[in-house]
């Protein structure tokens, strides 16, 4: 690793020794920048890496709320405003067990480079709380969201910080948070994206991350002499990203045969019945086992074993570090051609190395899942201009954006990567250069 980057990662390891996920993301990014830093020795004079790796601001606060029995519950919430050099902070809110500062710092760092790849003027941010919506009533979810916004409202705004959805935060939670923000501030503005279509949402935003992932994958396969036609795909997760990745994979000719949730996975050799899966997991908030029961297909109560299902294409779309070295080795052994990340950092460092060593096409999440935030960029534009886009316009633009991101990442891989398919380094270098140049132009801030 470049000496400057090595010094910075060593300092981060000492200072944030307990933040494993943040250090993992930082290490991957810094180790991708050897050629960039060789060409730009001036970055060290500007202390650019030290500044980039430190969030501009972190807000941590308590969220007290009343459960249905009248008892006061308390959660911890965060908003990490990581980098605003190219636009207002932008990134999702995550509600799930175990959310902590390390998770949200890694996500906000990834988001900073991802947003730079989209071409929109969006900085990087992420937030969330250690609140698990599973098993909570509608009233409990609403009271939690309202209490969270009663503090967070003063730190966000359409030109300041624009949250959206992520794990555990979908249309329902965005609606409650937007409603409370509007009530407190008296302003109807584009302060959130992922909003409902009747109050400023963008048609196609719900589908955009999964669809965008497949557009990126399709471009990557074509560039390397393959196509999606007839390919068997394994998709982890069955949430917002996974469901629409599976749906678009079908439309582009592939056959998704397995999906998971946090309890287990199902295999359906005839192809997952995606409308049934959407009905169970999105509309009814059910469990994936209900799919296995309804279709009489195998169910395995170990989600991480999904990577042992033989396939041509793997789409990790659930959560960070869900695909480890054992999973990567199983995929390689079974002849996988491509791995495209719908989730953020779903692949451990050892698994990334395994794919690289075996010349597997590997699309890193900060590039391949950028379709969601790109469509959020369209939603912000729509709200600012009081415009309306049709679903068709959005999908066409999304496809163009994803193809363009692939082209830029692929070009950057040629220049800065270890090989022409080193898309991990390509994405890191391309995103970093955009942010770095903006930071230098804006002086010591
Ligand atoms: P959702 O909450 O809609 O879905 C998450 C899914 O992952 C659920 O099906 C959940 O299961 C499952 N899951 C969670 N942990 C595991 C696990 N260990 N093994 C298997 N499945 C698991 O979240 P999203 O679909 O929005 O987000 C998924 C990923 O995509 C995250 O990494 C997120 O950061 C990323 N992402 C999201 C974007 C968006 O626009 N929403 C944009 C770009 C990236 P269960 O049903 O049991 O909870
Ligand atoms: O990880 C992500 O890119 C998201 N959760 C979407 C962020 C957004 O602001 O649309």
Ligand 1 atom nearest 241 alpha carbon: 25
Catalytic annotation present for 126: yes
Alpha-carbon gap, residue 1 to 23, rounded angstroms: 15
Q: How far is the CA of 36 from the centre of ligand 1 (A)?
A: 33
Spell out the residues 6+ positions from residue 305 whose beta carbon is closer than 8 angstroms to its own: 265
Is residue 109 within 8 A of residue 22, CB to CB? The reply is yes
CATH of domain 206-359: 3.40.50.720
- Tally of CB atoms within 10 A around 17: 9
Alpha-carbon gap, residue 27 to 80, rounded angstroms: 19
Give residue ranges with CB within 6 A of ligand 1.
165-168, 209, 236-242, 260-263, 303, 317-319, 322, 342-344, 369, 372
Q: Tens-of-pLDDT digits for all 445 residues of the chain?
A: 999 999 999 999 999 999 999 999 999 999 999 999 999 999 999 999 999 999 999 999 999 999 999 999 999 999 999 999 999 999 999 999 999 999 999 999 999 999 999 999 999 999 999 999 999 999 999 999 999 999 999 999 999 999 999 999 999 999 999 999 999 999 999 999 999 999 999 999 999 999 999 999 999 999 999 999 999 999 999 999 999 999 999 999 999 999 999 999 999 999 999 999 999 999 999 999 999 999 999 999 999 999 999 999 999 999 999 999 999 999 999 999 999 999 999 999 999 999 999 999 999 999 999 999 999 999 999 999 999 999 999 999 999 999 999 999 999 999 999 999 999 999 999 999 999 999 999 999 9
Report pLDDT for 378: 98
Ligand 1 atom nearest 169 alpha carbon: 2
Q: Which of 319, 322, 340 to mutate to test the pocket of ligand 1 (most atoms within 8 A of CB)?
A: 319
Which residue is closest in CA terms to ligand 2's atom 3? 373
Alpha-carbon gap, residue 18 to 140, rounded angstroms: 32
Q: How far is the CA of 380 from the centre of ligand 2 (A)?
A: 13
Q: Which ligand is nearest to the CA of 365?
A: 1
Element (H, E) at 232: strand 232-236
User: Is 3.40.50.10860 the CATH number for 55-188?
Assistant: yes
| Residue 240: HSE in the Cβ half-sphere, 13 Å Cα cutoff | 23
Alpha-carbon gap, residue 228 to 338, rounded angstroms: 10
Is residue 236 within 8 A of residue 263, CB to CB? The reply is no
Domain ranges of the chain: 1-54+433-445, 55-188, 206-359
Q: Which ligand is nearest to the CA of 208?
A: 1
Give the distance from CA 117 to its chain's centroid.
13
Give residue ranges with CB within 6 A of ligand 2.
90-92, 111, 114, 164, 166, 193, 344, 372-373, 376
55-188 and 206-359 agree in CATH topology: yes
Q: Which of 108, 376, 378 to mutate to test the pocket of ligand 2 (most atoms within 8 A of CB)?
A: 376
Residue 323, beta-bridge partner list: 347
Q: Residues 90, 105, 114, 126: which is the catalytic one?
A: 126
Spell out the residues 6+ positions from residue 389 whose beta carbon is closer than 8 angstroms to its own: 202, 203, 378, 382, 397
Q: Which of 136, 132, 130 is nearest to 68 (CA)?
A: 136
Q: Which of 59, 35, 28 is nearest to 321 (CA)?
A: 28
Q: How far is the CA of 261 from the centre of ligand 1 (A)?
A: 8
Q: How far is the CA of 165 from the centre of ligand 2 (A)?
A: 6
DSSP code for 75:
E
DSSP code for 155:
G
Could you give the strand order of the β-sheet that contains 255-260, starting from the edge strand earlier in sequence?
Answer: 299-300, 265-267, 255-260, 232-236, 313-316, 338-340, 361-363
């Amino acid at each position: 690793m470049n000496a400057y980057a090595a010094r910075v990662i060593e300092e981060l390891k000492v200072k944030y020794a307990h933040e494993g996920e943040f250090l993992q993301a930082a290490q991957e990014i810094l180790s991708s920048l050897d050629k960039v830093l060789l060409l730009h020795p001036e970055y060290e004079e500007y202390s650019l890496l030290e500044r980039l790796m430190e969030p501009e601001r972190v807000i941590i606060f308590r969220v007290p709320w009343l459960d249905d029995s009248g008892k006061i519950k308390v959660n911890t919430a965060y908003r990490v405003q990581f980098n605003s050099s190219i636009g207002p902070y932008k990134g999702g809110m995550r509600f799930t067990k175990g959310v902590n500062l390390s998770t949200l710092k890694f996500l906000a760092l990834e988001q900073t480079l991802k947003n730079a790849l989209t071409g929109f003027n969006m900085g990087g941010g992420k937030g969330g709380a250690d609140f698990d919506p599973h098993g909570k009533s509608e009233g409990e979810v609403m009271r939690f969201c309202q209490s969270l916004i009663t503090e967070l409202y003063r730190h966000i705004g359409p030109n300041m910080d624009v949250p959206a959805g992520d794990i555990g935060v979908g249309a329902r939670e965005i609606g409650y948070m937007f409603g409370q923000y509007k009530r407190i501030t008296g302003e109807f503005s584009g302060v959130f994206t992922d909003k409902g279509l009747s109050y400023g949402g963008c048609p196609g935003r719900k589908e955009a991350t999964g669809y965008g992932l497949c557009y990126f994958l399709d471009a990557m396969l074509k560039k390397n002499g393959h196509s999606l036609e007839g390919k068997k795909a394994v998709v982890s997760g069955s949430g917002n990203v996974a469901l629409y990745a599976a749906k678009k994979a079908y439309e582009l000719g592939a056959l998704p045969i397995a999906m998971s949730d946090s309890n287990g996975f199902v295999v359906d050799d005839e192809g997952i019945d995606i409308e049934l899966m959407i009905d169970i997991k999105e509309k009814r908030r059910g469990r994936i086992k209900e799919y296995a029961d309804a279709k009489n297909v195998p169910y395995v109560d170990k989600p991480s074993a999904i990577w042992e299902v033989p396939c041509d294409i793997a789409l990790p779309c659930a959560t960070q570090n869900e695909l480890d070295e054992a999973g990567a080795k199983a995929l390689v052994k079974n002849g996988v051609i491509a791995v495209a990340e719908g989730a953020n950092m779903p692949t451990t460092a050892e698994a990334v190395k395994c794919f690289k060593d075996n010349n597997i096409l590997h699309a890193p999440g900060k590039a391949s899942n950028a379709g969601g935030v790109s469509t959020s960029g369209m939603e912000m534009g729509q709200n600012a201009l009081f415009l309306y886009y049709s679903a068709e316009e959005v999908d066409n633009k999304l496809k163009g954006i994803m193809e363009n991101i692939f082209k830029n990442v692929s070009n950057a891989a040629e220049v800065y990567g270890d090989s022409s398919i080193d898309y991990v380094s390509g994405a890191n270098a391309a995103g970093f250069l955009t942010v770095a140049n903006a930071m230098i132009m804006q002086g010591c801030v």
